[in-house]
Structure formats: C-alpha cells, structure tokens
Amino acid sequence: MKNEGTELKNTEKADVTNTKPKVAKIKTVVKKVAVKEAPKVVAKVKKIALKPKKEEPKIKVNVYGIDGKIDKEIELPRVFNTEFRPDLIRRAVKAMRANRRQKYGPTPRSGFRRSTSWWGKGRGVSRSQRVVNSRRGAQSPEAVGGRRAWPPQLEKNYGEKINKKEKLKAKISALSATKDKEMVSKRGHKFVDDLTLPVVVSEKFEELKTTKKVAEVLDKIGVYDDIERAIKGKHVRAGKGKNRGRRYKVPKSLLIVVSDGAAVSKSAQNLLGVDVVTPKGLNVEHLAPGGDAGRLLVISEKALETMKEW
C-alpha cells in the first residue's frame, strides 16, 4: 500500500513539472501577440477619443421687456435640449400625488358602540346572525348602526416610490417640453403666434408690486389671453368635494418662475390659474399638471441663469 501511495505522488509531481514549460510557452506567445496588437488597440482608442461629438442644437429666444417689446436675444441652457420622456413624467406626477394622500378609516370601536336594542326571544322574529342568547346582532354589518365589513384600514400605505435619477430626468424633460409651441398649444394654452417659448422676461419684471401692473405687462407681451381662458373655465365642482372646501375647479394657466425674494411672487399669485415658483421649488407637477407636459412658462432672465448649472 505504501509503495502505491509513493508511486501516485511521483506521477503527480511529474505531471506538474511537465505542464510548467507549456505554461511558459503560452505566456511568451500571448506577450508577442499583445506587442503586435498594441499599436492597433491604441489607434482604435485614439480614433474614438478624437471622434467629434455631436453638437447640441443652440436654441435662441427673445427677452421681452416690461413694455412688451424685444430687448435682446439669448441662448437657452442645455437643459432645454433634454429628450422628451412622457412615461417618466407620468410616473413622477403619479408618485407625487400618491405621496400626498392621507390615510383614512373608521375608529377601531366604530360600530361596536351601538344604540340599538333587542326584543329578546319568543316573539317569532329572527335573530340577526342566528346567534342564540346573544345581543351581538346589533353590531353586524347589515344592521343599522352596525360595524362596516372590510372597512379601509389606517395601516394601508398609498405612497409610491420613484428613483431619484428618474425623478430628476422627468423634471428636466418636462422643462424642455415648455419650448415646444405645438405641445403647449395642444395643452390648451393661448398666446400670440410670434412669441418665442419659453417666454423670457427682463429682470424689471421681478420688481412689479401690484397685480394690475403684472396683468398689464402680460397683456403687452401677449400671454394674458391664457389667464382669461382660466377665468372663463372656472366652474363648480361636481360631487361632494364642493361642500368640503373645494367648491370650484380652475384650469391651470401660466407658470411664472422668478428668483428668490422677487416682489412679483406676491403680486402675480392673485391671478387665476397662475402658479409662481422659484427655480429651487420647481417640480414636475408645476411643469406638467396631471402628467401632461407643455405648460406655458414665463421665466425671468435672472431665474434662467440659475438653470445653467442644472
């Protein structure tokens, strides 16, 4: 037995020693091939690196003054060249709405605090649930004042999750849709045909302190017709919501984006259907209410500069 073990060990050692020169040969061959192919690989990498990148189209828009006339022409930030993704916009808006939903349901003891009475047995009247010698019939789901069968539970979570990158992509995509005239008009907004979208206004617009002046400036620029559309579209809500502090439904009109601390943020918010936000507070639902992209955007030149960093 010992001799057999030693023979096996000797054969294993011999196999290892035989494979060593083979491995060395393979390594030398690989090195030679690598040396030959190296210049080709380097050339390919250089070709890819030196390949000219596709230039993003430069979109130029007019800057309108308080008098409604064109002051100058500027270039929009590269954010407005983002690909339009309606699927992401819908998902982001749906998630935002779901996360705002409040939990609701009856109290744990509702339906058990009964005010009903029972005649008792012996009158030929059937007992609810056929429970013998019991007064539990008063709290059954079919009885008046009884509990609800399978009521909504407070434990239910209505919220929805969305990836951070997808949420950001949806916001930028909805922002880029504001430059498309066809998409904005399809959403129902009214504006003058020769306007460049988004409507960029000068920094003096942020200094307007009264709603009357804001309305006059918007009329001169040619977007006040959209506010009139919202005024005409205001109507009483159908259903019980009108008795719960939500009496009227108002169509969405302009979205005004201004810098922090601007006086116009207070004076413009009284206009019907108008939302006033800062670039920091801008979200997908502002740009695409109901998940429909292409809102009519009025943005100040100062607020537009902050978007160059996005």
Cα-to-chain-centroid distance, residue 38: 48
Q: How far is CA 183 from CA 86, 160, 291, in A?
A: 12, 28, 13
Q: What share of the chain is helix, strand, coil (3-state, %, to 5)?
A: 45, 10, 45
Q: Could you report the per-residue pLDDT of 36-69, keeping only the tens digit for each?
A: 676 776 676 656 655 555 667 788 999 999 999 9
The two tokens of residue 192 are 């003058």
Rounded Cα distance, 64 and 61, in Å: 10
What pLDDT is recorded for position 120?
Answer: 64
Sequence-separated (6 or more) residues with CB below 8 Å from residue 292: 187
Q: Could you report the per-residue pLDDT of 74-89, keeping only the tens digit for each?
A: 999 999 999 999 999 9
Rounded Cα distance, 218 and 236, in Å: 27
Residue-by-residue pLDDT tens, the chain, 310 positions: 445 555 545 555 555 555 666 666 666 665 666 666 767 766 766 566 555 556 677 889 999 999 999 999 999 999 999 999 999 999 999 999 999 999 999 988 887 776 666 666 677 766 665 555 555 566 677 777 777 889 999 899 999 999 999 999 999 999 999 999 999 999 999 999 999 999 999 999 999 999 999 999 999 999 999 999 999 999 999 999 999 999 999 999 999 999 999 999 999 999 999 999 999 999 999 999 999 999 999 999 999 999 988 8
